[in-house]
């Protein structure tokens, strides 16, 4: 792992109370960002929120928005999320026909560019485009639903991605999403991830701020 890597905790509002979303955002004000899952019931078998809600969240959130697009036709829709003023937009490479073009467009519109891979999608075909990205999201569950268990089968992919990033000299963070708990965050961090999406581990806790701090401490310890 790169020296002085900082552990970031991005709670997912997929586990929040959508009726009281502004209050739920305030409960995670100590997080590094809020992870906003956008699902269209096409790319994944679930339906969540769209652009108008994301725009409103961006206006009231106490922390930056980390938007994860699990949608079809992402080349068409992703730039609008960058225009909404969010900190980062992550698209699934499986849904993009032109990932390099899309990553460049997101950056040109003022957002950081993230690219996500499903658990079974290999990272190797995309290593040549690392310089086009700010973040690589390696899904540690099948995308679509919260509350799933961490897939250890993804750990070797995280390690290979980290080795390739360090070998290339690219400045790309590795994010993991799915099944992150006080126990699994250590394994994921040791493999090379530094940004962790946690849903139920934060919002299912009596004190979300305390849960965030505990996860951050465990992850940072593993990062060294």
Residue pointed to by tokens 């930056």: 64
Across 90-109, average pLDDT: 98
Residues 6+ apart with CB under 8 A from 56: none
Across 121-142, average pLDDT: 97
- What whole-number percentage of the chain has pLDDT above 70? 98
Across 94-116, average pLDDT: 98
Which pLDDT does position 145 carry in this prediction? 80
- What whole-number percentage of the chain has pLDDT above 90? 95
Q: Which CATH class is domain 8-223?
A: alpha beta
First to last CA, the chain: 8
Which pLDDT does position 192 carry in this prediction? 97
Catalytic residues: 37, 177
In this predicted structure, the answer to whether residue 1 has a pLDDT above a threshold of 70 is no
Task: Give the pair of three-digit tokens for residue 88.
Answer: 């980062």
Across 82-92, average pLDDT: 97
CB 178, CB 150: distance < 8 Å: yes
139 φ/ψ angles, rounded to the nearest 5 degrees: -65, 130
pLDDT range class, residue 147, cuts 50, 70, 90: confident
Q: Across-strand partners of 11? A: 198
Residues 6+ apart with CB under 8 A from 121: 93, 94
Which pLDDT does position 3 carry in this prediction? 52
In this predicted structure, the answer to whether residue 59 has a pLDDT above a threshold of 60 is yes
Which pLDDT does position 107 carry in this prediction? 98
Residues 6+ apart with CB under 8 A from 53: none
CB 133, CB 104: distance < 8 Å: no
Across 209-216, average pLDDT: 98
Across 46-58, average pLDDT: 96
Segments making up each domain of the chain, as ranges? 8-223
State the pairing for strand pair 65-70/88-92. parallel
pLDDT range class, residue 128, cuts 50, 70, 90: very high
Number of other CB atoms surrounding residue 129 within 10 Å: 16
Task: Give the pair of three-digit tokens for residue 35.
Answer: 């992870």
């Amino acid at each position: 792992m790169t020296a002085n890597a900082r552990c970031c905790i991005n709670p997912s509002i997929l586990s929040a109370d959508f009726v009281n979303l502004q209050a739920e955002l305030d409960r995670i004000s100590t997080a590094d960002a809020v992870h906003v899952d956008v699902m269209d019931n096409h790319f994944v078998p679930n339906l969540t929120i769209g652009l108008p809600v994301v725009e409103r969240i961006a206006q009231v959130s106490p922390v930056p928005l980390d938007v994860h697009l699990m949608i079809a036709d992402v080349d068409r829709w992703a730039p609008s999320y960058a225009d909404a003023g969010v900190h980062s937009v992550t698209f699934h490479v499986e849904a993009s026909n032109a990932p390099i073009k899309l990553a460049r467009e997101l950056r040109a519109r003022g957002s950081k560019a993230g690219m996500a891979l499903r658990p079974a999608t290999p990272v190797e075909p995309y290593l040549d485009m690392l310089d086009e990205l700010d973040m690589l999201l390696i899904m540690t569950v099948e995308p679509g639903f919260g509350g799933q268990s961490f897939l250890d089968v993804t750990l070797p992919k995280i390690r290979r991605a980290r080795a390739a990033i360090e070998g290339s000299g690219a400045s790309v963070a590795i994010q993991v999403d799915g099944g992150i708990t006080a126990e699994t965050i250590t394994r994921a961090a040791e493999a090379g991830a530094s940004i962790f999406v946690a849903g139920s581990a934060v919002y299912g806790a009596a004190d979300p701020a305390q849960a965030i701090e505990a996860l951050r401490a465990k992850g940072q310890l593993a990062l060294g």
